Amino acid sequence: MKKACMIQVILILICVLCFSVANGQRDYIVLTKGDTLYGKVKHLSYGVEQNIQIEAEGQRKKTVYPMLQVRAFKTADEQYHLIRTSSKYTYMKLLNSGYLSLYAFQLDGQSIWNGRYLYKADGNGIEVPTLGFKKKMTDFLNECPDLTADIESGNLNRNDLDNILATYNNCILSNTKVKSQEVEIATHHAASVNLWEELELKIKNENFEDKESVLEMIAEAKSKSAQGEKIPNFLKEALRKSIKDNPALEELLNKALAQSNQ
pLDDT tens per residue, range 52-88? 999 988 888 899 999 999 999 999 999 999 999 988 8
Task: Please say whether the beta carbons of 94 and 80 come within 8 A.
Answer: yes
- What does the pLDDT average to over 9-22? 50
Q: What percent of the chain has pLDDT over 90?
A: 39
Could you tell me where the beta strands, DSSP code E, fall in the chain? 28-31, 36-44, 51-56, 62-66, 70-75, 78-84, 89-96, 100-105, 115-120, 125-127
Q: Which position has the higher pLDDT, 37 or 24?
A: 37
156 located within any domain: no
Same domain assignment for residues 32 and 107: yes
- Length of the chain (residues): 262
19 and 112 fall within a common domain: yes
pLDDT at 2 over 70: no
24 is a domain residue? yes
Say yes or no to pLDDT of 30 above 80. yes
Higher pLDDT: 82 or 251? It is 82
Residues 91, 195: one domain?
no
Residue 148 is assigned to a structural domain of this protein = no
Residue 125: band (very low, low, confident or very high) from pLDDT cuts 50, 70, 90: very high
- Asked, for residue 137, whether it belongs to a domain, the answer is no
Residue 1 within any structural domain of the chain: no
Q: Which of these three, 82, 113, 128, is where a domain ends?
A: 128
Residue 249 resides in a domain:
yes
The CA distance from 254 to 258, in Å, is 6
pLDDT at 19 over 70: no
Q: Band the pLDDT of 160: cuts 50, 70, 90.
A: very high
Total domain count for the chain?
A: 2
Structural domain including 210 reads 184-261
* In a domain? residue 134: no
Mean pLDDT (whole number) for 34-47: 88
Do 16 and 120 share a structural domain? yes
Q: Are residue 48 and residue 114 in the same domain, yes or no? A: yes
- Tell me if the pTM is above 0.95: no
Q: Is the pLDDT score of 21 beyond 50? A: no
Instruction: Please determine, for residue 25, whether its predicted confidence score (pLDDT) is greater than 70.
Output: no
Q: Say yes or no: 115 and 29 in one domain.
A: yes
**Which pLDDT belongs to residue 74?**
95
Per-residue pLDDT at 262 exceeds 60: no
Q: Look at 211 and 145; give whichever has higher pLDDT.
A: 145
For residues 202 and 231, is the Cβ–Cβ distance under 8 A? no
Structural domain includes residue 159 = no
- Better-predicted residue by pLDDT, 155 or 210: 155
DSSP, residue by residue, 145-177: HHHHHHHHHTSS-GGGHHHHHHHHHHHHHHHHH
Assess whether 122 and 193 both reside in one domain: no
Render 84-101 in DSSP notation, one character per residue.
E-SS-EEEEEEEE-SSEE
Q: Is the pLDDT of residue 159 over 80?
A: yes
Average pLDDT of span 248-261: 75
